[in-house]
Amino acid sequence: MEQNQNYQENSLFDLSIDETAKNHLRSMATWSMVIVISAVVGYVLAILKALQTKPQVVHSEGFGATIAMGGSLGGAIFGIVIGLLINYFLFQFANLTKRGVNGMSQSDLNAGFYNLKIYFVIISVLLIIILVIALLVVLVFGLSAR
């Protein structure tokens, strides 16, 4: 009887989770939280940098054209919003997974892994978009070089 009760305590959605697996899940959640915190610190620094930099004006001789170079606040905010959206799901994964492992809660662990799935889907879609844009740039410049 005691062995059956011990099995139920260490069982999560009909899987037996030993201490090693629990420690690995806790470690994943901890590193995910480290990534989220460092990303948020990076976003704060990006906002500060965007607010402090002044666009440099480059004058080209003989053409009468001026070009403003430098980071824009709008671009920084756009990147930060995308980054916060992505890291929100990683944050949810870290919190729910840690809560699910510590409390042996199947629903919390499932929700944590669902958020990790959404995180990887967003990363994959963004990576595909970036690769397609890079391919188009290579094709355009490759065809125009002929």
Per-residue pLDDT tens digits for 61-106: 666 555 655 567 888 899 999 999 999 999 999 999 999 999 888 8
What share of residues in the chain are helix, strand, coil (percent, to 5)? 75, 10, 15
The per-residue pLDDT for 75 is 85
Q: Is the pTM of this model over 0.85?
A: no
Using only the alpha carbons of the chain, give its radius of gyration. Answer: 24
